[in-house]
């Protein structure tokens, strides 16, 4: 964990605590534009990821997204869950299910990124 939490770091963490959805860097920097500049947002996100607080992934457009971790530590990210993107509203959520990671001979797997696409709960009804 981060030893000393500054007010800015707390502000960012609070955004992730509010809902169980991933936030894109564009969304994050827009929301925080009155409180801190982009460079600060990127730096804090980096630190939070290294501390096991958030994890990140790219969508098919190359946009970076961040979401809250569950049970990760500074030494190891254990996020092997898939993500679900709604093609109607664009939101991405973490799915709380484990995806078995295959072991491949002579290869070392360091991260797993699975993006499922479809229609979310809100848009389907
Ligand atoms: Zn993680
Ligand atoms: Zn949707
Ligand atoms: Zn996730």
Q: What one-character-per-residue DSSP string does 48-64 give?
A: HHHTTSEEEEE-TTS-E
Q: What is residue 10's three-state secondary structure?
A: helix
Whole-number Å distance between alpha carbons of 54 and 36: 19
**Residues whose Cβ atom is located within 5 A of ion ligand 3:** 67, 94
Please report, for the chain, the start and end positions of each structural domain, with discontinuous segments joined by +: 7-124
Q: How far is CA 26 from the centre of its chain?
A: 13
**Ligand closest to the CA atom of residue 66:** 3
The answer to whether 123 is a known ligand-binding residue is yes
**Neighbour-count burial of 17, counting CB atoms closer than 10 A to its CB (0-12 exposed, 13-18 middle, 19+ buried):** exposed
The answer to whether 72 is a known ligand-binding residue is no
Q: pLDDT tens, 23-77?
A: 999 999 999 999 999 999 999 999 999 999 999 999 989 999 999 998 899 988 8
Can you state the percent helix, strand and coil of the chain, rounding each to 5? Answer: 30, 20, 50
The answer to whether 98 is a known ligand-binding residue is yes
Looking at CATH, the fold of the domain delimited by 7-124 is given as: Arc Repressor Mutant, subunit A (1.10.10)
Beta bridge pairs of residue 117 = 85
The helix (run of H) or strand (run of E) holding residue 9 is helix 7-18
**CA distance readout (Å), 60 to 13, 49, 90, 122:** 25, 21, 12, 22
Q: Provide the mean pLDDT of the chain.
A: 91
C-alpha 16 – ligand 3 centre gap (Å): 11
Share of the chain above pLDDT 90, in %: 72
**Ligand closest to the CA atom of residue 48:** 1
Q: What is the pLDDT of residue 48?
A: 96
């Amino acid at each position: 964990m981060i030893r000393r939490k500054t007010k800015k770091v707390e502000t960012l963490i609070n955004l992730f605590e509010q809902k169980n959805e991933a936030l894109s860097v564009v969304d994050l920097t827009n929301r925080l534009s009155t409180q801190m500049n982009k460079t600060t947002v990127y730096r804090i996100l980096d630190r939070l990821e290294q501390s096991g607080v958030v994890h990140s992934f790219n969508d098919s457009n190359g946009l970076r997204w961040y979401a809250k971790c569950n049970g990760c530590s500074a030494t190891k990210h254990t996020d092997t869950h898939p993500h679900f993107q709604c093609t109607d509203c664009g939101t991405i959520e973490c799915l709380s299910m484990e995806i078995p990671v295959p072991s491949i001979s002579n290869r070392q797997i360091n991260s797993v990124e699975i993006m499922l696409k479809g229609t979310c709960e809100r848009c389907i009804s």
